[in-house]
Amino acid sequence: MTTITAPDQRRARLGGGDGRVHPGRHAALVVVTALAPMAWGTTYSVTTELLPPGHPLFASLMRALPLGLLAVALSRTLPRGDWWWKAPVLGVLNIGAFFPLLFLAAERLPGGVAATLGAAQPLIVAGLAVAVLREPPSSWRFAWGTAGVVGVGLVVIGPGAGLDATGVLAGLGGAAAMATGVTLTKRWGRPAGVGPLTLTAWLLSSGGLFLLPLVLLFEGVPAHIGAPAAAGYLWLATIGGLVAYVLWFRGIGRLPVTATALLGLLSPLVAALLGMVLLGEVFTPLQVAGFVLALSALVAGQFNPSLNGRRP
């Protein structure tokens, strides 16, 4: 009887025994991972249409902490060893710091400018992958990452968009925080025996606990939370929170980190589509061209011709 080692088991799950990923399974993994940024693309519409105004930090807290703590309780698994500090670091970068910076950029900048700054995340990840993960630089993915930023900008930046120094720094800071979190999540992986759900529970809890004092100091709880707001918070916590992050961290663990980051372009594109559907907005020909360019960038970025048919 042949004994299967851990790497062989992983290859068996993904495809052939020669270490290459089965194309169909790889494509399915990409599609499933892409559901996460698509879910995040609903955040703006949910926030503006359902939630009480003026409480973005509270919305971030509700998105992270309740289900994060519940998932930790259900998993009955606490961090161990160096994961007592790794989990909080990843939780703050991916969630706790990213959310406030994202909302600050959205408040100080036109939405299109904030979204375009956020779309720079794949470019930051591409640089960090070389510096932190020691991956060889990929001019292919860097070029398509640049094209993705341009495409998103064409879709969401309107005429006369103004710039604010604080907003720009917050937008770039948010992109850098999540890019660093994504890269370190890839580098550190998961402890043995810990699945994506448990890792997500640790990170949501850590990010939520980081947000808790910020909410108490700067915002407090909304005076009234009606049924629409409750539904909005529930959506952000479940689909936009726990479910999306489980899919996202699972994808980061199995896909090339720069290719995964390019899937984040779907978030502003979905937000733009929802604006068209819910608010009756109409895309101009230039916006359509930008949409096609951004979609082409995130699809092309899933491949790397320099690897000559090996796993991308």
Q: What is the DSSP string of 256-304?
A: -HHHHHHGGGHHHHHHHHHHHHHH-----HHHHHHHHHHHHHHHHTT--
Q: Which two tokens stand for residue 217?
A: 């100091």
Kind plus residue range of the DSSP H or E element containing 69:
helix 56-75
Which helix (H) or strand (E) is 207 found in, with range? helix 196-218
Check the CA dihedral 31-308-16-4 and report its sign.
Answer: negative
**Res 306: pLDDT:** 61
The secondary structure element, H or E, covering residue 106 is helix 98-108
Per-residue pLDDT tens over the stretch 167-191: 788 888 988 999 999 999 999 999 9
Q: CB of 267 within 8 A of CB of 40?
A: yes
Phi, psi at residue 15, to the nearest 5°? Answer: 170, -130
Instruction: Give DSSP secondary structure letters for 31-59.
Output: HHHHHHHHHHTTHHHHHHHHSPTT-HHHH
Mean pLDDT of the chain: 84
Q: How far apart are CA 213 and CA 278, in angstroms?
A: 34
Instruction: For 211-226, write each residue's pLDDT tens digit.
Output: 999 999 998 999 999 9
Q: What is the pLDDT along the chain (312 residues), one digit of tens a residue?
A: 333 333 433 443 444 333 455 777 888 999 999 999 999 888 878 887 898 888 889 999 999 999 999 999 999 999 999 999 999 999 999 999 988 888 777 777 665 666 777 788 888 998 899 889 888 878 888 898 889 888 888 887 765 555 678 878 888 898 899 999 999 999 999 998 999 999 999 999 999 999 999 999 998 999 999 999 999 999 999 999 999 999 999 999 999 998 899 998 898 888 888 877 876 777 888 888 999 999 999 899 888 776 544 445
| Cβ-Cβ contacts under 8 Å for 54 (sequence gap 6 or more) | 219, 222
